[in-house]
Amino acid sequence: MNQYDVTVIGSGPGGYVAAIRCAQLGLKTALIEKYDTLGGTCLNVGCIPSKALLDSSEHYHNAHSVFQEHGIDLNDLRVNMPQMNDRKNGVVKANTDGIVYLMKKNKIDVLHGLGSFVDKTHIKIVPTNGGEEQQIETKNVIIATGSKPTVLPFISQDKERIITSTEALNIREVPKSFIVIGGGVIGLEMASIYARLGSEVTVIEYTDSLVPTMDGSIGKEMKRVLSKTGIKFMLGHKVTGATRAGDVVTVTATNPKGEEVKVEGDYCLVAVGRSPFTAGVNLEAAGIEMEERGRIKVDAHLQTNVPGIYAIGDVVRGAMLAHKAEEEGVFVAETIAGQKPHINYLLIPGVVYTWPEAAGVGYTEEQLKEEGRAYKTGNFPFRASGRARASGDLDGFVKVLADKTTDEILGVHMVGPRIADLIAEAVTAMEFRASAEDVARMSHAHPTYAEAMKEACLAATENRAIHM
């Protein structure tokens, strides 16, 4: 029987990163994955394919609706969905092949099949393609089995017309009409893809704000800006059912007045969150305890109640984000190797890859109010930025929240062009506990979108913004 220092179950961004860091630290490592390709949700049916389609649909939208303003005329423009999907599949393959290369480079044994506990130190691997079952012995285990789309118990999803994000990333036509249940991150990204390609898109959201977990200013601006691309938003609507008759899906919801409303479409995407996934892992055989809502219970070291067994990523508490899973993978590998790593969960940024993009890190204004903390605000709108005027990206803002007394930056929230990358400046500043004035006094190249961060910090520092 093969023996390992560490066995990782699941090859998503949590699992494969944990495996690489374990190998770097000299630990003999195995990685178990039930699917043929590595990379988990993120690379196969999440972050990467969604961003590929967001980029393709943005090109089409710009060619269709923006190029003319720049003095570029195009005729006979049309969408070739099979080609767009083939390109997306190629992007996914290049990324998942990259993980295979990284596993070989780091001498990690990849075992394909369903991994399950026999006991605390033995794992069984049953190949899903009918190959031979094997067992390994291991000193430590990292469970990184991820998540799956949450289902609404009163909606039966046929995965053809009433679908999850996985199918929504693989539609081979431009739907005439596309309904999205849930105005969260997946809802807005998918709504953007199909609205840009020409579908009539309706987003039905239960709360009275889009992306309700982010700073309230983001949801408001996203509603205003994305409405311009034709997306219809029904906020404060509780979906009560969805049924399919032929190629027509009918969604019923209760509006804020308590009346029943109906929306019809070609497709209905259910995007109401994701749930931790542990089916088939046989956690009971190792005596692993769970917490509420199907998550694995872990302590401050991400260790379960069983010494030597850890859990990371979507299957444990916290935001369901690829970069959060990656940080936790590194954290656990270093913990197993005897180091004392640290994760600052407050500074894990959240990004929505619509256009304009939305991003936030640190405390939201709502959280600061609730905590009764004295804070000040600096705002800078992109319409006052020379770079944004040149590109025509005038929507959005940078909002900086700083402690009223010490000026330490407590939160940064943005909507705007390329701010998925700009949020890294806020993370860096906050990791070094910078004050708003610290950032305001740093030179930012001109003209750049990043100048909006400097200006918002100036605005938070005695209202000293220069270009506003």
> Smallest distance, Å, CB 204 to ligand NAD?
5
Asked if residues 140 and 3 have their Cβ atoms less than 8 Å apart, the reply is no
From the list 163, 204, 359, 419, which residue makes contact with ligand NAD (rule: CB under 6 A)? 204
How far is residue 160 from each of residues 125, 213, 300, 346, 414, measured CA to CA in Å? 32, 30, 42, 39, 36
Residue 174 is given by DSSP the state -
SS3 for 171?
coil
Rounded CA-CA distance 57/63 in Å is 10
Q: Going residue by residue from 243 to 262, which x/- string records binding to ligand NAD, judged by CB under 6 A?
A: --------------------
Q: Going residue by residue from 181 to 210, which x/- string records binding to ligand FAD, judged by CB under 6 A?
A: -----x------------------------
Which residues touch 175 (CB under 8 Å, ≥6 apart)? 194, 199, 265, 266, 267
Taking CB under 6 A as the binding criterion, the range among 116-124, 201-209, 283-291, 447-455 that sits at the site for ligand NAD is 201-209
Nearer to ligand FAD, 95 or 435 (CB): 95
Nearer to ligand NAD, 201 or 239 (CB): 239
Q: Is 39 annotated as a binding residue?
A: no
Phi, psi (deg, nearest 5) at residue 11: -110, 25
From the list 280, 294, 386, 392, which residue makes contact with ligand FAD (rule: CB under 6 A)? 280
Residues 211-240 that bind ligand NAD (CB under 6 A): 212, 238-239
Q: Which does 357 bind (CB under 5 to 8 A by kind): ligand NAD, ligand FAD, none?
A: none
Among the options 70, 301, 446, 467, which is catalytic? 446
Give DSSP secondary structure letters for 334-376: HHHTT------GGG--EEE-SSSEEEEEE--HHHHHHHT--EE
The type of residue at 166 is: T
Q: Is 185 annotated as a binding residue?
A: yes
> Strands 397-403 and 409-416: what pairing?
antiparallel
Q: Is 205 annotated as a binding residue?
A: yes
Residue 159 is given by DSSP the state S
Give DSSP secondary structure letters for 368-406: HHHHT--EEEEEEEGGG-HHHHHHT----EEEEEEETTT
Nearer to ligand NAD, 4 or 267 (CB): 267
Q: Is 184 annotated as a binding residue?
A: yes
Q: Is 454 annotated as a binding residue?
A: no
Nearer to ligand NAD, 150 or 282 (CB): 150
From the list 141, 321, 440, 460, which residue makes contact with ligand NAD (rule: CB under 6 A)? 321
Taking CB under 6 A as the binding criterion, the range among 102-110, 178-186, 286-294, 302-310 that sits at the site for ligand NAD is 178-186
> Smallest distance, Å, CB 262 to ligand FAD?
27
> Smallest distance, Å, CB 169 to ligand NAD?
11
Our finding on whether 14 is near ligand FAD (CB under 6 A) is: yes
Q: In the beta sheet, which residues pair with residue 380?
A: 398
**How many chain residues touch ligand FAD (CB under 6 A)?**
37
> Smallest distance, Å, CB 318 to ligand FAD?
10
446 noted as active-site residue: yes
Rounded CA-CA distance 437/451 in Å is 14
112: tokens are 């394909």
Q: Which does 124 bind (CB under 5 to 8 A by kind): ligand NAD, ligand FAD, none?
A: none
Cis peptide before 127 (omega within 30 of 0): no
Our finding on whether 147 is near ligand FAD (CB under 6 A) is: yes
Residue 152 is given by DSSP the state P
Q: Is 188 annotated as a binding residue?
A: yes
Q: Is 125 annotated as a binding residue?
A: no
Rounded CA-CA distance 277/294 in Å is 8
| Pick from 394, 59, 61, 353: nearest CA to 195 | 61
The type of residue at 280 is: G
199 Rama class: left (phi>0) / alpha (psi -120 to 50) / beta: beta
Footprint of ligand NAD (CB under 6 A): 152, 181-187, 189, 204-207, 212, 238-239, 271-274, 319-321, 351-353
Q: Which are the catalytic amino acids?
A: 446
Footprint of ligand FAD (CB under 6 A): 9-15, 32-35, 40-42, 46-47, 50, 114-116, 144-147, 165, 186, 277, 280-281, 313-314, 320-323, 325, 353
Report the binding-site residues: 51, 115, 145-147, 182-189, 205, 273, 314, 320-323
